[in-house]
Structure 1
Amino acid sequence: MGNGAANPDGPVLAGVDKGDGQEYVVRCAAGQAALHGLPLHLLYVSEHPDRDAPGTDVVEPLERLVRTEFPGVTVTAEAVAGRPAAVLVERSAQAFWTVVGHRGSGGFPRLPLGSVSWQVATHAACPVIIVRPGDAPAAPEKRVVAGVDVTDASGVSARALDVAFAEAQLRGARLELVHGSFHLGETPTGPGMAAPDFEILDDAVHAALKEEADKRRDRFPDVTVELHAERLRAATLLAESSKGAVLLVVGSHGRSGLRRLLLGSVSSELLHTAACPVAIVHAPHPD
């Protein structure tokens, strides 16, 4: 099952760092490669090779970890000089998935326009999984969470749903479709103003979620689907739903043009608040 990647025959690309917690990032990437039957390529990019630890000191222990713990995964490793975000974005055009770590102020060195993980999630040519080292749940449930925008007409949410169904199927996990919405405009603020019929609105959302699930039932007959909608900020509801899950999948519109400058507000917030790895799926861009 494709994920809209630039290269459906490419490897899982894992951007690794010299900081603590990289073993978890690599295990997530190796697990993704094993699920899809793909090779794994570990890439360490040093912006200051003359000051940093030798690249082989970073990638070789991680490569050995994969060979030991994931013997069925073909793994290669590479250390290069360059700007980490730029190199990872360029290499993502040859990858099926890209996996990077994100620790807010830690992890990869922060750049003027934001962290490396932020830039990769925004500009990569394939879907990206963002992992926070050290945040691995002790006993994650077999559950994948997908954020659904029932008002999206661009196709991005549908693409993210296709990926979420495929990931749930590969993991033998149940899939939770989550929609959160809260608008100040729904709350009356003046005399004589009546609140909308929330029951009708809720029924419409549930019907839309069910319709999206039904569209994919023939392709993913073994995936058990749960529907979850609340009148709550989408990012807040998704962060709560991510607790104990193995993966959270969201679509990101960002901005159009030669380069999208920002992730969508929901997906960007979830990079900081989600309690499990976050898969960012966005529309392909020509550059």
Structure 2
Amino acid sequence: MLATKSDPKLSNKLQEKALALFVSDVHLSDALPRTTDYFLRFLSEQARNTERLYLLGDLFEYWAGDDDGENSYNQEIIGALRALNDFGVKIFWIAGNRDFLIGSHFAQSAGVELLNDPTELRIGECHLLISHGDALCTDDTSYMTFRAMVRQTEWQTAFLAKPLAERKAIILGMRKASNTEQQNKSMAIMDVNPDAVMSLCEQYPGATLIHGHTHRNAIHQEAHGLRYVLPDWDCDHHQNKRGGWLRLDSQGKLEFIYI
């Protein structure tokens, strides 16, 4: 059962310290002040009541390189993450398709540990597999070609050597082209491919898969176990705010919590 903060039983449960929280697709941007506000409140309130926080990609709408972390908006986010780390919460990061240029300088400043995609976890009695999820969208062949190119070390080195303003202009152009292209793609093409999911899960028998990227919050029963799809966040463009996280409690139960 999916739970929300309005559930009376949940408010008591949230007072108990969680083993881990999982979040993705917040798409932080200074153009989204309400979404930013809700996420900062999440970091200063709910996230302080867990042992570990896993950020599974697309925390930012885009990331042009760690030298972009010096602007005031990004500094506020970095400072909030560092404060959570200093409070004693371990923070882990998997890159998304929007912020794969996050590097070691950001990680050190924010107090986060960079993880590979996918990463296998054993937390308490739970066997988990975490991923951003975009690598599973194999039906979207044009995106997979683009992904293979930009994840190459050589491409990233050449791109990061460009001036920051030029990088931002290129990224904005890529986003505009991507938005136009997506209008001509079916939702099925942009979702995960069942065979790709099965192939990944077969490599990690018994693991519960947790990912984001698709913005299709759900719990799926797959042949090899459960698959949790994390919600995306948007509190600025819709009358009803959207967002949330997955909570692993001390008994090993996974539960969605919504803002």
Whether the TM-score (by the shorter chain) exceeds 0.5 is no
| Higher relative contact order (CA closer than 8 Å, sequence separation 6+) | 2
TM-score by length of 1: 0.30
TM-score by length of 2: 0.33
Is the radius of gyration larger for structure 1 or structure 2?
Answer: 1
